[in-house]
Amino acid sequence: MEDMETALTKEGILEELSSLIQGEEFYQHSTRIKELRSAYESLTEQEEKRQRSAFDQKEDKEEEEEFVFSANPLDVRFVELKAKYSLLIKEHKAKLAEEEKKSLELKTALLADLKSLVEEDMQEMGAAFAKFYAIRDAWNAAGQVNKSKFKQVQYDYSHFRDLFYYNVGIHDGLKKYDLKKNAEEKQAVIEDLKALIEESSFKKMEKSLKELQAKWDEIGPTSQDSWEKLKDAYWDLVNGIYEKLRIHYKALRETKARILEEKQAVLAKMEALFVEVTDFKNPKQWVELNDKINALHQEWKQSGFISKDKEEAIWLRFKELSDKLREQKNSYFEKLKAQNSKVQEIKRKLIEEAEALQDSKEWKSTSEKLIKLQKRWKESGSAQRKVDQQLWEQFRAVCDKFFNTKNTYFATLDDRQEANFVKKEALCTAITNAKTEAELKAKISEWQGVDFVPKKKIAQSEANFEKALATAAKNLKMDKDDLESLRFEAKLSALKEDENADVKIQAERNYVQTQIDKIKEEIHRFEENMGFFGQSKGSQKLKEVVEKRLQEAETQLNSWKDKLKMLK
């Protein structure tokens, strides 16, 4: 696993994952897909370690500056592919289960026919033989059944088949004929396996091998004296072909992995060079850069070739870096004259962005934004020394104002949350003793407007709130729907009073719309299912259950729609 992880990039993993998942036989690559997912997650861990290491080694970071991991944009695609693969596997299993179900139904019907033949329909031997062979051929042509049912179904079939043999008085003759015929069919499979060893296409060899194994398993038993010889010949050939496939794919993987590793090493050098130029301070370094780029291109060509789909992602990255370096070299001198004034303009804009954030109370998001502004500040370059120092002091003062306020806020957070808990407990008592619905609504709104409580007391606070609501509803003779409506109105009132009312109301609106969409899908599914019920007594009972659930879903839908209207 470690070798594979070092040989892959996130782009390569995503491309291979996409290729495997989109293939018709995606379900046969579960092991490889699991390896790729593990490799991707390992690369993400490595990215975070590198970012953290770089952060820890910074000499000029602020005392209050905190590490923030910058996620790779490719991670979104990775999550999408995992979800798609899970859905495809689920659909594949459902399809397989349906096929096994149909096969079981067919074989069950054939068993009934065979039982009827053995017990009732043996007067006309010619017709009996014809019917028996028809049942046997249909049985052999039927697909696989679920493993949990296979043993019993196969046992029943063998039982009635043997009864037939005995009933016609020629059991031994028929059995010998079948054993001989089965031996001939198995020998034919062996001959096909011998020919398959010489197959030049390994993909065709692997596919044909699986088909021949399935054919072997479907053939009935042979006589004991021929079985051992057939079995040994069969497994010698099968194991030999699998060994040939294993050696081929191992060598292929090793070669591709080696070449890919070499190309990734060259890419790493180009990436290092791309980072190195940020420290260039004179024109001579830019002139020497061109020779270094040409040497890396030559090293890339000499490393060898792998499949286009494996190499394309890192080649595009390599070429992108190469092109960018050449562009930087070509534009370096013409940018040099205008650099000072441009850097000053950038830093003044960064100060304006920081000033717009300095009074924010969104601690996490604002911290991330300011840290990103600090990173952009460092990446913007240097202006005239005196002006640059003045701009830095101004920028730092703005950042310090926010972070000092943030530190003061969190230093007293525990006391505030404890006070919030006490306040909510008092409001629970007021809710319990509410005399009118208006008073109850006001107290609920007030309770919901109180900020966070300590984590270890969240469950207790919520439980006391629900208990107080139940008691108040009982005292005021309110039913469940009235209480739910009142509760939502109170919640909406609390949201409107919040300092981030617009954001929180929009979030609540999105949540309610999501619930509406889910219930609509459920109603649609119920309505489709109604069309499948027949007129039997059992079907009618199930239909009544579905109708009841449909009515409940429609009631819930109306309730959520009312809430959405209140939020608009």
CA dist 21 and 80 (Å) reads: 11
Name the token pair of 523.
């109603």
Identify which of 562, 375, 381, 407 has the alpha carbon closest to the alpha carbon of residue 486: 562
Q: For residue 9, which amino acid is it? A: T
Identify which of 137, 148, 160, 161 has the alpha carbon closest to the alpha carbon of residue 104: 148
Specify the pLDDT at position 534. Answer: 57
Specify the pLDDT at position 317. Answer: 86
Identify which of 72, 73, 70 has the alpha carbon closest to the alpha carbon of residue 375: 70
- 358, 402 in Cβ contact below 8 A? yes
Helix 458-475 with 480-497: angle, nearest 10 deg: 130
Burial class (CB in 10 A: 0-12, 13-18, 19+), 334: exposed
Determine the Cα angle at 504 with ends 501 and 508, to 5°. Answer: 130
CA dihedral (81, 87, 90, 91) positive or negative: negative
Indicate the domain borders of the chain: 170-335, 339-411, 415-498, 500-568
- 560, 519 in Cβ contact below 8 A? yes
Ramachandran class of 144: left when φ > 0, alpha when ψ lies in -120 to 50, beta otherwise: beta
Specify the pLDDT at position 505. Answer: 72
Identify which of 401, 492, 409 has the alpha carbon closest to the alpha carbon of residue 445: 492
DSSP notation for 478-500: --HHHHHHHHHHHHHHHHHHSTT
CA dist 217 and 101 (Å) reads: 20
- 486, 444 in Cβ contact below 8 A? yes
Please list, in sequence order, all residues whose beta carbon lies within 8 angstroms of the beta carbon of residue 401, skipping any fewer than 6 positions away. Answer: 358
- 23, 84 in Cβ contact below 8 A? no
- 205, 166 in Cβ contact below 8 A? no
CA dist 42 and 269 (Å) reads: 22
Specify the pLDDT at position 188. Answer: 94
- 465, 425 in Cβ contact below 8 A? no
Ramachandran class of 477: left when φ > 0, alpha when ψ lies in -120 to 50, beta otherwise: left
Rounded to the nearest 5°, which phi and psi values hold at 199? -60, 130
CA dist 427 and 435 (Å) reads: 14
Specify the pLDDT at position 553. Answer: 77
DSSP notation for 247-268: HHHHHHHHHHHHHHHHHHHHHH
CA dist 422 and 565 (Å) reads: 34
| pLDDT per residue as tens, the chain (568 positions) | 444 444 679 899 989 889 888 887 877 788 888 889 889 989 999 988 988 888 878 777 777 778 888 888 888 888 888 898 888 888 888 888 888 788 888 878 888 887 777 777 666 666 777 777 788 888 877 777 776 777 677 778 777 777 776 666 554 566 677 788 898 898 899 899 888 888 889 888 989 989 988 888 888 888 888 898 888 889 998 999 999 889 888 887 777 778 888 888 888 988 888 888 887 777 777 778 788 888 888 888 887 777 667 778 888 888 888 898 888 877 776 676 677 688 888 988 988 988 888 888 787 888 888 888 889 888 887 766 788 888 888 888 988 888 888 787 777 778 888 898 898 898 899 889 989 888 888 888 888 788 888 989 888 888 988 898 889 888 888 887 777 777 777 777 666 666 666 766 777 778 778 888 888 888 878 777 776 665 555 666 777 777 778 777 777 777 777 777 776 7
Classify each residue of 47-57 as buried b or exposed e, where b means 16 or more C-beta atoms within 10 Å of its C-beta.
beeeeeeeeee
Classify each residue of 195-231 as buried b or exposed e, where b means 16 or more C-beta atoms within 10 Å of its C-beta.
ebeebeeeeebbebbeebeeebeebeebeeebeeebe
Specify the pLDDT at position 2. Answer: 43
Specify the pLDDT at position 239. Answer: 93
- 343, 376 in Cβ contact below 8 A? no
Q: How far apart are the first and last CA of the chain?
A: 53
Q: For residue 531, which amino acid is it? A: G
Specify the pLDDT at position 5. Answer: 44
Identify which of 3, 29, 557 has the alpha carbon closest to the alpha carbon of residue 261: 3
CA dihedral (548, 549, 551, 552) positive or negative: positive
